[in-house]
Structure 1
Amino acid sequence: MLDPRKLHLLRELAGRGTIAAVAEAAMFTPSAVSQQLSALEREAGVPLLERTGRTVTLTPAGRLLVEHANAVLGELDRAAAALAAARGGPSGPVRIGAFPTAARVLLPPALAELTAAHPGLEPMVSEIDPADVSAALRAGGLDVALVHEYDFVPPVTDAAVETEPLFSEAMYLTDRPSVEAARDDAWITSKPGTLCHTMAIRACQAAGFEPRVRHHVDDFDTVLAFAAAGLGVALVPRLAATAPPPGVTLTRLPLSRHTLAAFRRGYGDHPAIRAAVAAFRTALPALTL
């Protein structure tokens, strides 16, 4: 019989790409991970990994087993959620991940609502880029997270994660009437590898040019301060632009950022997850979108 713990390691390898990364996430040694995966291959009766020097990739059978692992591990999470619901109301720690804008604007009223409605819950918040959320949820480092998706950028959550839409907000351009009009400007974007950076690059490409990025800044308040100082143009979401500094004009664009709640597949009915998502929704009417 296949061991779910080993299936989890195989799924992590598919998501993280290296034995070393899986070992770090699972708090094992690399040799222990390799031994567990070798044991899984013996249980499966077919090669799951192709080893070339220090490089390890999944075979077609390995990729097929990962698909089934997502279903198996999702069912186990579903069983855990059902048992938690049978024990009564939500209690204990609930680990929440959020990108900075959501952490600043949405979480304070949401957490106030959550702790008032469920005094037994202990919310624990960590800021995290949405690109890192799937790995954190799979590894159990988070229970639920707020993630965002942009137009022009495909979703970053994987098959092990489910999402529920919460709200959408418009995107704005600083000090220019359109993206096309900013063709010759210096640009301020987030760091490469973030969804915000990818969105800005692709919005410019859709307008027919490659942006000349001069500054990489993740904090939108700092981005707006740079724009106010004439250091470049930038795209900012509505929640980050409710009170722009003097001298910055904002043009609404036909682009949106979409915020969703994310959790492991099968885990969405856990009482703590349901309570957290309900609190997120309760806090939404107070937002200026």
Structure 2
Amino acid sequence: MLELRRLRLLRELSIRGTIAEVADVLSYSPSSVSQQLSQLEAEAGVELLRRTGRTLQLTPQAQVLVAHTEELLGSMERAEAALAATLSTVAGTVRLAVFQTAMLAIMPPVLRELRATYPNLRVEMSQQEPAEALHETSSRNFDLVVAEQYPGHAAPHYENLDRRVLTHDSIRLALPLKGGVGNAEFDRVTALEHAANLPWVVEPEGAASRHFAEQSARLAGFEPDLRYETADLQAHAQLVATGNAVALLPDLVLRDEASGLRAVDLPGAPVRTIFTAMRHSSAQSPAIQAVRSMLHQQPGMSDAGKIPAKH
């Protein structure tokens, strides 16, 4: 008889690639993972892992087991959701992954309302980059994700995830208030191309927002001077407000920092899409649906954070 706990370890190995990563994600020791996989191989009666140099590869037989494990985990999740749906109280734990802006601008009122409405519901929230959060939600390490997608930079799609648009968030050129920092170069900017000779602050290499900023500048006819780099958008806002840089920022960030920034519209009025995603197999979970519904029911999400453009 194959044990589901060991099958899940094999599935995690197919996702993570190394025993060390499997051990880290599931809070096991590497030796324990190796031992459990060896026992699974003995139970199956066939070779499941083949060492090639320093790496382990799954055999075709192991891949068959991984595919069936996905089905088993989905069936178990659907059964748990159906059972929870028969109860009169929404309870349990929902593991939520969100990106920084959502954690700061969207989640505080949602969490407050969830505590008041569902006192038996526990929400565990972790800040994660969208691509990683989607991957981990697909892999069942989170239950629900709030993620973002920039124009021209699609977020990864996973067949087992159901995605729903939460809001569209305008993106604009952020500048310090006129006369606020005593720099005429910043004060003269009324269009994107006017920022060609100014320093820029962007997110690290690989971030969707950085790709969007670079492409926007190039389409405007210049290569941006990427002077500062940080994943913290609040730091972006502070560097802009103090006259050290310009940045392309979404309105959810501009709203919180509006007193120290002015915004210039971009050609084509681009927006980033903010969306939620959860596994299809957890669709009937009252707890996960309660969190997702509360997110989508927030007032003003259709024009979240919108502030007037200032020229």
TM-score bracket for this pair, using the shorter chain length: 0.7 to 0.9
Question: 1:1-289 alignment to 2 at 5 Å?
Answer: 2-41=2-41, 47-59=47-59, 62-63=62-63, 65-134=65-134, 136-137=136-137, 141-156=141-156, 158-175=158-175, 182=195, 185-201=198-214, 203-204=216-217, 211-242=224-255, 243-246=257-260, 248-254=262-268, 255-285=270-300, 287-289=304-306
CA–CA distance in structure 1, aligned partners of residues 86 and 300 of structure 2: 32
- State the shift of 1:174 in Å: 2.9
Letter in 1 for 2:275: L
CA–CA distance in structure 1, aligned partners of residues 45 and 220 of structure 2: 52
Which deviates further from its counterpart, 122-131 or 268-277? 122-131
Identical aligned residues as a percent = 34
CA–CA distance in structure 1, aligned partners of residues 61 and 190 of structure 2: 52
Letter in 1 for 2:94: V
Q: 1:253 to 1:284 in 2, by over 3 A?
A: farther
SS at match of 2:244: coil
- For structure 1, which runs of at least 5 residues remain unmatched after alignment? none
Contact 1:172/1:237 (8 A) holds in 2? yes
Letter in 2 for 1:263: M
Contact 1:144/1:261 (8 A) holds in 2? yes
- State the shift of 1:61 in Å: 5.4
Q: 1:214 to 1:86 in 2, by over 3 A?
A: same
CA–CA distance in structure 2, aligned partners of residues 197 and 6 of structure 1: 41
Letter in 2 for 1:262: A
- State the shift of 1:22 in Å: 0.7
Q: 1:62 to 1:108 in 2, by over 3 A?
A: same
Structure number, greater radius of gyration: 2
Contact 1:186/1:211 (8 A) holds in 2? yes
Post-superposition CA distance 1:78-115 (Å, at most 9, x none): 11111111233311333322222112221122223222
SS at match of 1:132: helix
Letter in 1 for 2:252: L
- State the shift of 1:42 in Å: 5.1
Instruction: Report the number of matched residues.
Output: 289
- State the shift of 1:248 in Å: 3.6
Contact 1:85/1:270 (8 A) holds in 2? yes
- State the shift of 1:27 in Å: 1.2
Q: CA RMSD in A?
A: 3.1
Post-superposition CA distance 1:112-158 (Å, at most 9, x none): 32222222223333322223324543665533221222222232354
